[in-house]
């Protein structure tokens, strides 16, 4: 479980355009939840803009920002992806991909110029975003006896626990989602009952 109870992302894709010394920079920000979605968005942009000189990007995943990556796509090292990432972090965002597509205008910008151009393009794009605050949830599996179903639902109502799935076989099995601030209290209540076995699955 994480110490934070919520995280910020973006509600929908946004775009921006920036021009410097005849080079044109197009920025795109996408809400994403996994690397498959990231690869899909990158592939779509390469299909849409096949004649672009560079497709540089940065992304952050997970509520704790534990997965991050930058790509300069042929630009000098740390002149594109890192300036983009810096702008994402300035907004305290996660589960986001920002891509800056460059069309070379014939004049080299130099390393300081590239850092400024990619950073400014990403910054402009993130000025247009619609922020969304997402509540972290802890996911648990709870197993108990068949005759204790009412106890589970009573506790779930008391602590606003979402019952995602119920399986009835020899035992009752529940898949539960609990908002972070209620998790500790719910687990304490479960410990009061016999044959309540809880298993932590994930937080997201």
Which tens digits make up the pLDDT trace of 61-83? 988 899 999 999 999 999 999 99
Give the C-alpha separation, 196 to 194, whole Å. Answer: 6
Q: How confident is the model over 139-166, as a mean pLDDT?
A: 94
**pLDDT recorded at residue 5:** 74
Give the model's confidence band at 2: pLDDT under 50 very low, under 70 low, under 90 confident, else very high. Answer: very low
> 13 — phi, psi (to 5°)?
-65, 150
Per-residue pLDDT tens for 97-106?
A: 999 999 998 8
**pLDDT recorded at residue 27:** 98
Q: How confident is the model over 5-26, as a mean pLDDT?
A: 93
Average pLDDT, the chain: 93
Domains of the chain, CATH where assigned: 6-133 (3.30.230.30), 136-203 (3.30.70.1290)
Question: Which residue in the block uniquely carries the two structure tokens 């908002």?
Answer: 179
**pLDDT recorded at residue 4:** 63
Give the C-alpha separation, 80 to 99, whole Å. Answer: 10
**pLDDT recorded at residue 1:** 40
Give the model's confidence band at 128: pLDDT under 50 very low, under 70 low, under 90 confident, else very high. Answer: confident
**pLDDT recorded at residue 52:** 96
Task: Report the greatest alpha carbon distance in the chain.
Answer: 76
């Amino acid at each position: 479980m994480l110490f934070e109870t919520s995280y910020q992302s973006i509600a929908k894709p946004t775009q921006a355009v920036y021009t410097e010394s005849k080079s044109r920079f197009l920025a795109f920000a996408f809400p994403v939840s996994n690397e498959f979605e990231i690869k899909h968005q990158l592939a779509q942009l390469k299909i849409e803009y096949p004649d672009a000189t560079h497709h540089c990007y940065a992304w952050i995943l997970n509520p704790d920002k534990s997965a991050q990556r930058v790509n300069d796509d042929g630009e000098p090292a740390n002149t594109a992806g890192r300036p983009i990432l810096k702008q994402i972090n300035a907004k305290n965002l996660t589960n986001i991909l920002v891509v800056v597509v460059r069309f070379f205008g014939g004049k080299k910008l130099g390393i300081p110029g590239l850092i400024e151009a990619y950073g400014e393009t990403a910054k402009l794009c993130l000025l247009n975003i619609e922020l969304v605050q997402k509540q972290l949830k802890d996911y648990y599996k709870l197993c108990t006896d068949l005759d204790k179903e009412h106890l589970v639902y009573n506790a779930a109502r008391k602590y606003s626990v979402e019952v995602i799935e119920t399986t009835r076989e020899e035992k009752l099995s529940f898949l539960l989602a609990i908002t972070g601030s209620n998790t500790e209290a719910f687990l304490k209540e479960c410990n009061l009952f016999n044959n309540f076995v809880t298993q932590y699955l994930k937080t997201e």
